Amino acid sequence: MTKTDFICAVGKELNIIDTGSWQVYPPVIQQDKCKKCGMCLLYCPTNSVKLIDGSYYIKLDFCKGCGVCINECPAKAIKFIKEDEQK
């Protein structure tokens, strides 16, 4: 399985490929798990990951929900979390 296959599989399973529907499950960086390595920022194709005051955040205005940040995070600190389940 290639990275592209995995991303497509994740996208299809979570229904995030259809325009607009992915925002029900936005990507969230779990700050308690984040190792501050910057891999998410490096690999994000839309430049949606920002470093603010020493922590990484995803700007949903630019994020397309592709899942690259999730795949590249060695700490597995980024997940698609349903909006109504976020803290």
Instruction: Return all residues near 9 (Cβ < 8 A) that are at least 6 apart.
Output: 1
* Structural domain harbouring 25: 3-85
**Residue 40: per-residue pLDDT:** 97
Number of domains in the chain: 1
Residue 52 has pLDDT above 80, yes or no: yes
Please name every residue paired with 27 in a beta bridge, in sequence order, or none if there are none: 80
Q: What's this model's pTM, rounded to 2 decimal places?
A: 0.69
pLDDT digits (tens, 9 = 90+) for 3-33: 444 444 455 444 444 444 556 788 999 999 9
Q: Could you give the percent of the chain with pLDDT greater than 90?
A: 55
Report the CATH number at residue 65: 3.30.70.20
**Distance of alpha carbon 29 from alpha carbon 72, whole angstroms:** 12
